[in-house]
Amino acid sequence: MRTHAINVSSWEVLQRLLTPENALVIEVMLQTGLRVSDVLTLRSEQLRKGQRFTVLESKTGKGKRIYIGKDLYFRLLAQCGKKYVFPGARSEDCPRTRQAVWADVKRASKAMRIPLNVGTHSARKSYACAEYKRSGALSDVQRKLNHSSLETTVLYLLDVFEGFGA
């Protein structure tokens, strides 16, 4: 079953129901379009270099230059661990797990009675929908998501065309 994008106002409410750390993970995803696994493996040293840095995407192996807005940047710095921006619950040597974030998002979306399948990947899809609405160009969204094919990008945007997306 595919996950769906949800609109910005729904994300704002949903984030209030998440743990503060998980809400920050989702906020980074919505601002950058990164996958949850890439957000969770961000190193504290990367973040401390400044608001703009390059992330090596784990799924594709491609580099992606990202920018974190000032407000979010300082909130991330305030909570980051020694090694990872989002340290694990059991050990600072490991990042928070994507399963922990996913479970929190599922719990919050169920509490909100959202009739769509919402998960962590929904944030990436919502980012894609917002970028498409902003630029109107599929190729821009494809480039920002680092997709190899335009077809993959179109699948992300189905929610816009079906009326659910950002």
Q: Residue 166: its pLDDT value, please?
A: 52
In this prediction, residue 2 carries a pLDDT of 86
For the entire predicted model, the pTM comes to 0.93
Q: Tokens standing for 10?
A: 């729904």
Do 81 and 95 form a contact (C-beta atoms < 8 A)?
no
DSSP 8-state class, residue 115: S
pLDDT at 18: 98
How would DSSP label each residue in 72-95?
A: HHHHHHHH--SSBSSB-SS-TTSB
Q: Supply φ then ψ for residue 96, to 5 degrees.
A: -55, 150
> In the prediction, which pLDDT does 165 show?
54
pLDDT in the model for residue 12: 96
State the pairing for strand pair 63-67/52-56.
antiparallel
Q: What is the pLDDT of residue 159?
A: 72
Q: Which of 142, 164, 165 is nearest to 153 (CA)?
A: 142
In contact, 43 and 159? CB cutoff 8 Å? no
* Mean pLDDT, 10 residues at a time, the chain of 166 residues: 89 97 98 97 96 93 94 96 95 94 98 95 95 93 93 86 61
Domains of the chain and CATH, by start: 8-162 (1.10.443.10)
